[in-house]
Amino acid sequence: MKTIPLLCVLVLALPLLAENFSDNFDFYTPGDDLESSPFWSKPDSCGNLVVTDTGGNMVVETVWNGYQSLAYACLGSGVVTDCILETDVKYTNIEASCGLLARVNDSTGEGYIGYIYSALPDIGVTFIAYVDGNGNYTTLDSDYYYPFNAGDWYTLSFQVTGNDPVELTVSVNGTESTSVQDSVYNLGAGLTGLGSTCSGSSSVFSIDNYSVIDNASDLASVTFGGIKALFR
């Protein structure tokens, strides 16, 4: 698989305290970039996630604009240590990936990513990787996921807990696919987010129902979809 840089050093506003967070994108306007919300941020030099109306249900879709990767930090969930990230994903073509970012350092850009890659028709590969501030991947573990069909929705989950070692697990549709312990990079608290890559402009990932459950937080769960409408 071709390695494509994903993370850039993100220049972000001061992160919020950790909270449970969810976003179903239903209160966005079609054509909006995800960064139109105060709860998301991205580097300038990467692709975009653009809101699309799919018969009354809003999703965000990858628009590459000449780039082969994109990364969005979720300011809405704040700085998180132990968490379960989840989102629904659908793809149109092979040789593209979609992933969940965790423990992203807002100064250096390094973090963990758990993602699924559309390797061949009907066959996916789940990966867990460390990503440095220049976007270089170091794969920590991977495994096949079958079937992974174009046009079907899948729920991708990434659980990150502990310290020295950090426990990292990727699940698809509630079934564990890839799991590993990391004592080398041993990243601490950081931001969460979304990342995607492609090897061609025809590869599109759709994303819906992003959520963060902060395992260490006793704060009440909040849904920012409705709150975003106040900022329009």
Specify the CATH number for the domain of residue 173: 2.60.120.560
Q: Is the pLDDT of residue 10 over 50?
A: no
**Residue at 33 is within a domain:** yes
What confidence category does residue 202 fall into, taking pLDDT thresholds of 50, 70 and 90?
confident
Between 202 and 122, name the one with better pLDDT: 122
Q: Confirm whether 9 is domain-assigned.
A: no
DSSP 3-state of 50: strand
- For residue 174, is it within any domain? yes
Q: Is the pLDDT of residue 11 over 80?
A: no
Task: Say if residue 107 is exposed, middle or buried (CB neighbours under 10 Å; 0-12, 13-18, 19+).
Answer: exposed
Residue 52 belongs to some domain of the structure? yes
Asked whether residue 12 is domain-assigned, the answer is no
Per the CB < 8 A criterion, the answer to whether 48 and 31 are in contact is no
Domain count, the chain: 1
Task: Answer yes or no: is pLDDT of 231 > 90.
Answer: no
CA 51/CA 175 separation, integer angstroms: 29
Q: Range of 50's domain?
A: 21-231
CA distance 187 to 70: 21
pTM of the model: 0.86
Give the whole-number percent of the chain exceeding pLDDT 90: 76
Task: Provide the pLDDT for residue 201.
Answer: 66
pLDDT category of residue 228 using cuts at 50, 70 and 90: very low
pLDDT at residue 106 in the model: 86
224 has pLDDT over 50: no
Q: What are phi and psi of 82, to 5 degrees?
A: -90, 125
| DSSP per-residue string spanning 157-224 | EEEEE-SSSEEEEEEETTEEEEEEEE-SS---SBEEEEEEEESSTT--EEEEEEEEEETT--SPPEEH
Using CA atoms, how far apart are residues 186 and 189, in angstroms rounded to an integer? 10
Contact 71, 44 (CB under 8 A): no
How do residues 33-73 score in pLDDT, each as one tens digit?
999 999 999 998 999 999 999 999 999 999 999 999 999 99
C-alpha span between 118 and 125 (Å, rounded): 7
pLDDT of residue 77: 92
Residue 11 lies in a domain: no
CB 128 within 8 A of CB 113: yes
pLDDT class of 203 with cuts at 50, 70, 90: confident
- In this prediction, residue 155 carries a pLDDT of 98
Quick check: 114 and 170 in contact, CB under 8 A? yes
Q: Is the pLDDT of residue 90 over 80?
A: yes
Outline where the chain has alpha helix (H): 224-228
Q: Residue 137 pLDDT > 50, yes or no? A: yes
Q: Beta strand pairing status for 137-148 and 122-131?
A: antiparallel
Indicate whether 138 belongs to any domain.
Answer: yes
The token pair that represents 12 in the structure block: 């972000």
Tell me: pLDDT of 126 over 80: yes
Q: What is the CB neighbour count within 10 angstroms for residue 105? A: 18
Section 106-113 average pLDDT: 93
Structural domain includes residue 1: no
- What is the reported pLDDT for 215? 67
Mean of per-residue pLDDT scores for the chain: 86
Q: Residue 193 is encoded by which pair of tokens?
A: 């987010």
The pLDDT tens digits of the residues spanning 145-186 come to 999 999 999 999 999 999 999 999 999 999 999 999 999 999
